Every structure is written in C-alpha cells, then in structure tokens.
Amino acid sequence: MSADKSQLKQNEDYLTDFTPEDYLKTTSSNFEDEGGLRKFFFACYNEIYKSGAVKGRRLMDVGTGPIPISVVTAEPYVQEIFFSDYAPSNRDYLYQWLIGSSRQDFKALFQYVTKLENKGQHWEERSSALKNKVGGIFPVDLLNDKVFGENLFPHFDVITSSLTFESAANEVADWEKFAKRLSKFQKPGGHFVINGVMGCTFYNVGPIKFQAFPISKDKLQESFTNAGYTIQYFKDHAGPPKEENVISNYEKGFVMHCIRN
Ligand SMILES: C[S@@+](CC[C@H](N)C(=O)[O-])C[C@H]1O[C@@H](n2cnc3c(N)ncnc32)[C@H](O)[C@@H]1O
C-alpha cells in the first residue's frame, strides 16, 4: 500500500489534526494486532527491564501520545516518570487519565502488561503505581533545537520513546539530530530505550494519513552511535505483507537499548 506524499499530514498538523480517540481505536486498542507489532514491543520491553539492565531514578518518555504504552513495563524500575508530547490533544488526553476523569482508564493496557509479567498483580494496582510516579506532562518538539522549550530538568537516567522519531523526522539526518538533542539531558551511563518501525512512510489515525520517515536498520544504529550512544540490545520483527496492513506500511518493527558514552 502506498500513499500520495502531498496528502500526508506532518509536523505542525499534529497540533490540530491528531485525534487521540481515533489513534487509540486504530492503533492501540488491540495489543495482539498490527501484525504482532505491539506484542513484539512488549515482549522486548519485558526482556530488557526484567534483566535489570535498565534502571534509574528519573525517566522521560518522548512523544508519549495519548497512551502511556511505552512506560508501563518500565515503571517498577524507576522512581519518577515524565511524559511529553508535541500534540496538545495528546497531553490533555494523558492528563485526563492521570486525574481520573473517567474518559479513559487504559484497563486493557495494564491488564496486558500484568498478565505478561505473570506476577498476579491487579491492573488497578499497576495503574496507581504509575500515576503515583508521574512528575508531569510536558510539551516536546524534536524538530526544535531546544526540544523541551524553556523547561529545564535534572538529568534523566532513562529516556524512552515509542514510534515518535519516525513521526517527527523529515529526513534521515533528523534521527541523529534528535538523539543528540536528547543526549544533552543525560549523563554518561544514561539509558535510551527506543522502539519504532523501519521502512515506513505513513500511518493512519482514523481517516487521516500521517507521514512517517522511513529508516533502515544501518542508518538507525549509525544515528545513535554518532550521537554518542553504545547499542546494548537490538531486535527487529518483520511486519505483515503490506497489502494486509491497513494501518501503515512498515517493513519491520525494532526495539533498541543504548547507553550514553
Ligand atoms: C505514532 S504516535 C506514537 C505515540 C505513542 N508513543 C505510541 O507508542 O503509541 C507519534 C507521536 O509523535 C508525536 N510527535 C509528532 N511530531 C513530533 C515532534 N516534532 N516532536 C515530538 N513528538 C512529535 C505525536 O504527537 C505522536 O504522539
């Protein structure tokens, strides 16, 4: 499946056209869906965090979107968690969850993770544990040299990011730029856990197509190495045949853990 590039939404369009409800419907409502992409991400998160390889005091998730999907597995291994997103609609959606306004409880997400971990934890216990660690929800723009604007933070021991670099990037050089910009918020030894898709040019949010920038495995790894990170873990996962995937045209999913030099 391909898409006319001129019709794709991108960059500033996230400020107005990204509808959290549509994204959650088409992308994150079924964790067994998307050609097993989310299932693959969760299996890798589980492997990485359970091994004890990633822990620290403060975690920043970059491009959280409307759902804290990339930090539920990480939560027990850190003490404080910050969310960030470019789209105001997503920040508000996360906030409504955080304050318990009953628009959304992400029950399916917490149930999925606790079942995978198989420790008998109740989903509500896990949800409360995460909420208690959230230190704030901040704007972020990876395309801006000052990614967090005028906000200043102590160093982050862990940075996570899920499906966001490819959404924000306009060219291959952006990946290294984004990694370098974020590296300024970490000390040597800081962890970066990123997951996303390779070879993807678009994804659907309800009826709207958003641009994705396609990256290869070599370029992805080179970007982080050039930005001053050493790769500790890398796994990829082939997507379904493109004609069968109605959500996007990704070739492979990946999960990578790097350490700042
Ligand atoms: C595909 S969604 C991923 C959301 C979530 N992390 C997940 O795994 O489902 C892409 C996210 O990238 C964010 N984004 C788009 N442009 C960005 C930019 N310039 N800087 C930071 N984030 C951006 C969007 O607002 C959106 O939440």
Q: Name which residue sits closest to atom 4 of ligand 1, judged by CA.
A: 65
The CB of 212 under 6 Å from ligand 1? The reply is no
Residue ranges and CATH numbers for the domains of the chain are 5-260 (3.40.50.150)
Model confidence pLDDT, tens digit, residues 182-197: 999 999 999 999 999 9
Going edge to edge, which strands form the sheet with 58-62? 134-139, 80-85, 58-62, 158-162, 191-198, 252-260, 229-238
* Residue ranges, the chain, pLDDT below 70: 1-4, 6, 27-30, 32-35
Is 59 in contact with 158 (CB distance < 8 Å)? yes
The CB of 221 under 6 Å from ligand 1? The reply is no
CA separation for the pair 109, 12 (Å, rounded): 29
Nearby residues of 17 by Cβ (< 8 Å), 6 or more positions away? 9, 205, 208
Q: What angle do CA 77, 74, 65 make, to 5 degrees?
A: 145
Q: Which long-range CB contacts under 8 A does 148-153 form with residues at least 24 apart?
A: 148/84, 148/185, 153/58, 153/60, 153/82, 153/185
Model confidence pLDDT, tens digit, residues 154-174: 999 999 999 999 999 999 999
CA separation for the pair 169, 119 (Å, rounded): 38
Per-residue model confidence (pLDDT) at position 198: 97
Say which DSSP state 248 is in: B
State the complex-level ipTM.
Answer: 0.99
Per-residue model confidence (pLDDT) at position 88: 96
Per-residue model confidence (pLDDT) at position 134: 98
CA separation for the pair 241, 254 (Å, rounded): 17
Output the CA 22–ligand 1 centroid distance in Å: 14
